[in-house]
Amino acid sequence: MQSNQTKKKLHNRHSIRLEHYDYSRNGYYFITLCTHDKKHLFGKIIDEKMHHNILGKIVHDLWDKLQTDNIKPLNKIVMPNHFHGIIQISSGLEINREITDTNKLIQRRKMLLPKIIGKFKMITAKEINKILNRKGKSVWQRNYHDHIIRDDDEYFNIIEYIEKNPEWWRKDKYS
């Protein structure tokens, strides 16, 4: 049984999002998702190329299905135990509204980017668990990493990073 102190710590985890940034704002975002316990679920790197298994193919294909009028999934790579992708949001929100409410977590969950990533994680996990004949098991780590892409140089450097990720696999500390 968890103590009240432990419960409080779990519910007040430190967010890795920018504190006052509105993640519904127009822009390009670089996303990294890792599998639960860094398990190699999605295939193998052979001769510096990623070879997806059926689970990796699900992640690869479902990323593109996130597209709407406001959301454009762009470059991606599915690696054995993680995923990188760029997503463009064009929600019409041009200015950065500051997040100042005391209940920041609830406000953040209403923002577009966390909703997109939450949906992606949920639908991929459901499909993967169906194939693995299991129910409700974690596929992804609880959180995700994001980077707000600020200019063309960053954008093209990230695209290169995504494309070369399989070549650098042997040097990856998480591989």
Over residues 60-85, the pLDDT tens digits come to: 999 999 998 889 999 999 999 999 99
Q: What is the mean pLDDT of residues 111-135?
A: 92
DSSP 68: -
Residue 8 lies in a domain: no
Residue 9 lies in a domain: no
d(CA 83, CA 76): 7
Residue 55 lies in a domain: yes
| pLDDT above 90 coverage of the chain, percent | 60
Residue 7 lies in a domain: no
Residue 6 lies in a domain: no
pLDDT beyond 60 at 136:
yes
Least confidently predicted of 27-36, 53-62, 96-105: 96-105
Tell me the pLDDT tens digit for each residue of 10-43: 445 445 545 556 667 788 999 999 999 999 999 9
Residue 5 lies in a domain: no
Residue 46 lies in a domain: yes
Yes or no: say if 22 and 113 are a contact pair by the CB < 8 Å rule.
no
Q: What is the pLDDT of residue 20?
A: 58
Number of domains in the chain: 1
User: Around Cβ 53, how many Cβ atoms within 10 Å?
Assistant: 15
d(CA 170, CA 167): 8
The domain spanning residue 23 has which CATH number? 3.30.70.1290
Residue 4 lies in a domain: no
Q: Which two tokens stand for residue 168?
A: 């650098």
* Structural domain for 92, as ranges: 16-171
Average pLDDT, the chain: 82
Q: What is the pLDDT of residue 106?
A: 43
Q: What is the mean pLDDT of residues 47-62?
A: 96
